């Protein structure tokens, strides 16, 4: 079995560096273009099922594949991005100014620090892994499953599979509409590729980790 984890395309909040968390925000024009590119690539192989975070930016990203394949999109809330709570809508500069001690704690232990009114990356990791395993258990060996999710969520999943400290999640990067491939049975999944954007003809380079959420 292969699980193809696809990060959503760019939103306007990604472009300007604002936290979006669980808010419903659509793809911008760049994100729509990225979604078309990744879905054209995914159409080259048989896909047996499509799952998505229930946030609209993920559903919009994977909709071209669903339309081309005739498969329905199965929404899974466990695949959502981290709940950033009161950080939602803020830039990093605004967070530093409004929550200086909390931001310092986050920089020191990003995986363990709970966002005010939200969750920590460890909590995100637990719910995301539950969702991934449940999805894998529904399908048979040899099938290919496409899953639209989020940068932070995918990084948390990879940390779990590789037994990496969740505080190291921000030492890797997932670009918009990148494909990360997992392979194997539900309880022995392995990382095959990470952040594959070979389908993109006009990559956007990012230096700000916070565009992930």
pTM for the model: 0.93
- Determine the Cα–Cα distance for residues 170 and 26; give it in Å rounded to an integer: 24
Active site annotation includes 89:
no
- Determine the Cα–Cα distance for residues 58 and 61; give it in Å rounded to an integer: 5
**Tens-digit pLDDT profile for the chain (213 aa)?**
999 999 999 999 999 999 999 999 999 999 999 999 999 999 998 999 999 999 999 999 999 999 999 999 999 999 999 999 999 999 999 999 999 999 999 999 999 999 999 999 999 999 999 999 999 999 999 999 999 999 999 999 999 999 999 999 989 999 999 999 999 999 999 999 999 999 987 665 554 554 547
Among 87, 107, 108, which Cα is nearest to 99's?
Answer: 87
Exactly one of 8, 22, 115, 210 is catalytic; name it.
Answer: 8
- Determine the Cα–Cα distance for residues 162 and 149; give it in Å rounded to an integer: 19
- Determine the Cα–Cα distance for residues 34 and 201; give it in Å rounded to an integer: 9
Exactly one of 22, 60, 76, 81 is catalytic; name it.
Answer: 81
- Determine the Cα–Cα distance for residues 77 and 52; give it in Å rounded to an integer: 8
Q: Look at the block and give the residue holding tokens 């070979």.
A: 198
Task: Report all structural domains of the chain as residue ranges with CATH numbers, in order of start.
Answer: 2-212 (3.40.50.1240)
Active site annotation includes 210:
no
């Amino acid at each position: 079995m292969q699980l193809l984890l696809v990060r959503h395309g760019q939103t306007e909040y990604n472009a300007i560096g604002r936290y979006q968390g669980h808010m419903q925000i659509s793809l911008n024009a760049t994100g729509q273009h990225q979604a078309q590119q990744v879905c054209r690539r995914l159409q080259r192989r048989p896909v047996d099922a499509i799952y998505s975070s229930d946030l609209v930016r993920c559903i919009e990203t994977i909709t071209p594949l669903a339309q081309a394949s005739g498969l329905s999109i199965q929404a899974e809330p466990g695949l959502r991005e981290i709940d950033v709570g009161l950080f939602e809508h803020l830039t990093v500069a605004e967070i530093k100014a409004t929550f200086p001690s909390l931001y310092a704690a986050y920089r020191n232990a990003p995986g363990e620090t709970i966002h005010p009114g939200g969750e920590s990356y460890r909590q995100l990791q637990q719910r995301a892994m539950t969702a991934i395993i449940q999805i894998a258990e529904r399908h048979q060996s040899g099938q290919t499953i496409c899953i639209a999710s989020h940068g932070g969520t995918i990084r948390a999943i990879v940390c779990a599979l590789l037994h990496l400290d969740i505080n190291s999640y921000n030492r890797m990067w997932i670009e918009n509409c990148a494909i990360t491939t997992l392979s194997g049975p539900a309880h022995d999944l392995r990382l095959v590729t990470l952040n594959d954007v070979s389908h993109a003809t006009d990559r956007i380079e990012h230096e700000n980790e916070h565009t992930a959420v």
